[in-house]
Structures are given as C-alpha cells and as structure tokens.
C-alpha cells in the first residue's frame, strides 16, 4: 500500500517519537511505499485562516496551487491508500497542530464536496481505504470511555466518511501511559510495529 504518515509531537525523544520509528519500521517490513510528514519540523501553521475559509469551495484536485501552503499535503492525501496519524492524545483529543492539519486539509474540494441541492457531503478521498491512529493516553481506557473518546470519534467517524466507503480504521493506543512501566511501553511499541507490518 501507499502509506502517508503524519507525525505530530514537538520532539522525537519521546514515546510517540519512538512509536513513529516503529511505525516506519513496520511499514517498511510490510513492503509499503511510505511518505512521512513531521508537522512540527515543517513549521505547519494549524490556523484555519480567513483566506482558507474564503477559498474552501475551490476544487484543489484541479488546482492545488491556489493554496500553495498546503498543496504538498493535499497531494500526499490524494496519493495514499493508507493514512497513519502518530500523535499523543492531549485533553481527550488531537494536539492543536494535528487538529489544525485536519481543519485545513479535510475541507470542501479536498476531502469532500457538497453539490448544489445535495443534503449530504460526497467523499473525495476515495483513494484512502485505511486510517490508522497510533497514540497515547494519559488516563485509563475506562476514563477515556467515560469522557467519550472525542479524538477517536474524529478519526473513526468524521475523517472516515471522507474516504472510500470500505475504509477501515485501526486504533493502536497505550492507555494509562502516565503510570506505565518500561515493560508496558515496550509491549506497546512492539504492537505498533507488528500492526504496521500487517496493515
């Protein structure tokens, strides 16, 4: 498969940085073609600007040069079969940088369209048949369930509807990371690599 990996963490010297390395190793072992974006290293601007809002009806499939700041990201989304998001869960959701990536990229003309008179959006990222999230949670799975797992719902419900109708999602997470042991983290990283190899 063609895998587009989006990494969102301020540092590679972290558990999520290690998860990125295991993600890339697993994808390579599985024979996948990989492109990787590091949002912090890119200096990605997460703000959905007034100009972005004004131009969101433009069909970027035809002319991505109309938004040069995101053209390369658009091209990667339209290229891949599998989207892999590697990030820590903060305050029950994606970090602001990744949420901004979603706000700016998953827009009308890139991820979906709403034809005149239609009552439902039409997916435009039909090339994507798999979305994988690799993440960490500070609290337990029970606490996350009670809170509603908003970040998980964004990926498994909202993003998924902009993709292929047969798109599958996979959630690879470590819960209670604040109380985890080195052995727990090792098991998580091994699981990440194994899941990516088999994706």
Closest listed residue to residue 71, CA positions, set 44, 99, 95: 44
The partner residues of 168 in beta bridges, in order of sequence, read 130
Instruction: Evaluate if residue 152 carries a pLDDT over 80.
Output: yes
Which of 14-18, 91-95, 107-111, 163-167 is the least confident region?
107-111
The partner residues of 172 in beta bridges, in order of sequence, read 134
Please report the pLDDT score of residue 66 as a whole number: 58
List the alpha helices (DSSP H) in 10-140. 15-29, 39-42, 50-55, 71-79, 96-105
pLDDT tens readout for residues 121-146? 999 999 999 999 999 998 888 887 88
Residue percentage of the chain with pLDDT more than 70:
92
DSSP 108-159: BTTTEE--TT-SS-EESBTT--EEEEEEE-SS-HHHHHHHT-HHHHIIIIII
Burial (CB count <10 Å: 0-12, 13-18, 19+), residue 18: middle
Please report the pLDDT score of residue 58 as a whole number: 53
| Residue 10: domain span | 2-198
Please report the pLDDT score of residue 65 as a whole number: 54
Asked whether 171 and 3 are in contact (CB, 8 A), the reply is no
Looking up residue 172, the CATH number of its domain turns out to be 3.40.50.360
pLDDT tens readout for residues 57-103? 554 444 555 577 889 999 999 999 999 999 999 998 999 999 999 99
pTM: 0.90
The total number of structural domains in the chain stands at 1
């Amino acid at each position: 498969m063609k895998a587009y990996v989006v990494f969102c963490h301020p540092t590679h010297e972290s558990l999520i940085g290690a998860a990125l390395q295991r993600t890339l190793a697993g994808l390579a072992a599985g024979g996948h073609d990989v492109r990787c974006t590091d949002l912090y290293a890119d200096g990605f601007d997460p703000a959905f600007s007034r100009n972005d809002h004004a131009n969101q009806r433009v069909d970027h499939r035809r002319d991505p040069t109309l938004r040069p700041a995101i053209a390369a990201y658009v091209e990667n989304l339209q290229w891949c079969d599998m989207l892999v998001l590697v990030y820590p869960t903060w305050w029950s959701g994606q970090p602001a940088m990744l949420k901004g990536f979603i706000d700016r990229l998953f827009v009308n003309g890139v991820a979906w369209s709403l034809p005149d008179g239609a009552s439902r959006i039409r997916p435009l990222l039909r090339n994507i048949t798999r979305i994988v999230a690799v993440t960490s949670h500070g609290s337990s799975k029970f606490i996350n369930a009670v809170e509603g797992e908003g970040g998980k719902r964004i990926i498994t419900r909202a993003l998924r509807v902009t993709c292929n109708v047969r798109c599958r999602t996979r959630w690879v997470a470590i819960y209670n990371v604040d109380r985890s042991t080195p052995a727990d983290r090792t098991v998580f990283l091994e699981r990440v690599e194994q899941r990516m190899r088999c994706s």
